[in-house]
């Protein structure tokens, strides 16, 4: 049976873009007699708030979207992500990264001001410098035992060598196709942050597998991240779902909607007397 999921992060209120994603998932799940799951992606304890989570449930209920089973809250499963991370560590693919954000900025700034371009990832952030990856292990061990704050990063080159070439099944934009994965575009991604026992990439891959998701339907802004997800799935021996990256709902200036966008917030629209049917029509999923 097909299993779809909607996986919002409670770091703001839902807007029309989320409504489109949730309604599209609902439509595709019900068309094929599949299940639709809800996952609350709340690993970022600094940005996620209980009132936003309550708002998510209210907005989705108001839109008339019912989910199967109990919602999975990522914050309740940190030990599971840590166990998976240990497996990657055991494969020699993970290293502790001590450089702070400011140190990374300085490293990249120095290169760039010397006229040497430094690679950016698909989100525009500079690739993580090789300093920690190449750090002598005695130095890393000493820092770890001194309790120095660190993230855990994937050694992308080694991971890609271990996994070999990968692709994914994509049906966004109408046509079905196989998309070659290019995880190297991201550099050494974070698997666990300084403050968090996991990362978006790791937890999304673990959860899609644990929840037996067959169809990942989400915004086009996550298209490039799928390369990392395929890589982790391969390394961990997890099944590869089908993917559909849908168009984004943009504001009048052509920009992606932000969580704070007042006039496209579902709570605001509801308070202004807009009906769920109008929301469906507005995102192009009217009856």
> Shortest gap between Cβ of 145 and ligand GLU (angstroms)?
35
Asked if 15 contacts 257 with a C-beta cutoff of 8 angstroms, the reply is yes
Q: C-beta of 286: minimal distance to ligand GLU in Å?
A: 24
Taking the complex as a whole, how short is the minimal distance between the CB of residue 41 and ligand GLU, in angstroms?
Answer: 4
For ligand GLU, the closer of residues 50 and 273 by Cβ is: 50
Residue 7 or 159: the one with the smaller Cβ distance to ligand GLU is 7
Q: CA-based Rg of the chain, rounded to a whole angstrom? A: 20
Provide the minimum distance between the beta carbon of 7 and ligand GLU in the complex, in angstroms, as a whole number: 4
Query: Residues in the site for ligand GLU, rule: CB under 6 A?
Result: 7-9, 41, 204, 218, 222
Supply the minimum distance, in Å, between the C-beta of residue 105 and ligand GLU: 25
Count of other CB atoms within 10 angstroms of residue 258: 13
Torsion angle of C-alpha atoms 251, 53, 71, 47, degrees rounded to 10? 80
Pairwise CA distance, residues 109 & 111, whole Å: 5
**Closer to ligand GLU by Cβ: residue 150 or 246:** 246
DSSP letters, 195-214, are S-SS-HHHHHHHHHHHTT--
Closest CA to 127 of 135, 117, 116, 118: 118
Complex with ligand GLU: residue 140 or 209, whichever CB lies closer: 209
Question: Looking at beta carbons only, is 133 or 233 nearer to ligand GLU?
Answer: 233
Least distance in angstroms from the C-beta of 98 to ligand GLU: 28
- 150's torsion region: left (phi>0), alpha (psi -120 to 50) or beta? beta
Nearest alpha carbon to residue 38 among 60, 20, 54, 16: 60
> Measured in Å, how far apart are the chain's first and last C-alpha atoms?
25
CA-to-CA separations, 194 to 94, 149, 153, 156, 251, in angstroms, rounded: 14, 6, 11, 19, 34
Comparison of 41 and 53: residue with beta carbon closer to ligand GLU: 41
Least separation in angstroms between residue 63's CB and ligand GLU is 16
Which helix (H) or strand (E) covers residue 4, if one does? strand 3-6
CB nearer to ligand GLU: pick between 7 and 283: 7
């Amino acid at each position: 049976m097909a299993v779809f999921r909607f996986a919002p992060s409670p770091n703001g209120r839902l807007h029309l873009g989320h409504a489109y994603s949730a309604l599209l998932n609902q439509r595709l799940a019900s068309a094929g007699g599949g299940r639709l799951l809800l996952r609350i992606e709340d690993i970022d304890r600094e940005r996620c708030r209980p009132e936003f989570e309550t708002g998510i449930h209210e907005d989705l209920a108001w839109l008339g979207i019912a989910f199967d089973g109990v919602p999975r809250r990522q914050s309740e499963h940190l030990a599971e992500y840590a166990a998976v991370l240990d497996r990657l560590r055991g494969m020699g693919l993970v290293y502790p990264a001590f450089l702070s954000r400011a140190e990374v900025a300085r490293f990249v700034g120095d290169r760039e001001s010397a006229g040497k371009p430094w690679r950016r990832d698909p989100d525009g952030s500079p690739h993580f410098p090789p300093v920690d990856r190449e750090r002598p292990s005695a130095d890393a061990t000493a820092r770890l035992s001194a309790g120095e704050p660190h993230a855990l990063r994937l050694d992308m080159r080694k991971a890609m060598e271990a996994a070999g070439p990968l692709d994914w099944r994509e049906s966004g934009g109408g046509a079905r196709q196989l998309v070659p994965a290019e995880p190297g575009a991201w550099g050494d991604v974070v698997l666990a942050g300084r403050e968090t026992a996991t990362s978006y990439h790791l937890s999304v891959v673990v959860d899609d597998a644990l929840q037996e998701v067959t169809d990942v339907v989400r915004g086009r802004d996550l298209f490039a991240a799928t390369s990392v997800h395929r890589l982790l799935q391969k390394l961990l021996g997890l099944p590869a779902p089908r993917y559909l990256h849908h168009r984004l709902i943009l504001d009048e200036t052509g920009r992606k909607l932000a969580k704070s966008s007042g006039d496209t917030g579902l709570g605001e629209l509801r308070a202004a007397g807009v009906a769920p049917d109008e929301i469906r029509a507005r995102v192009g999923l009217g009856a």
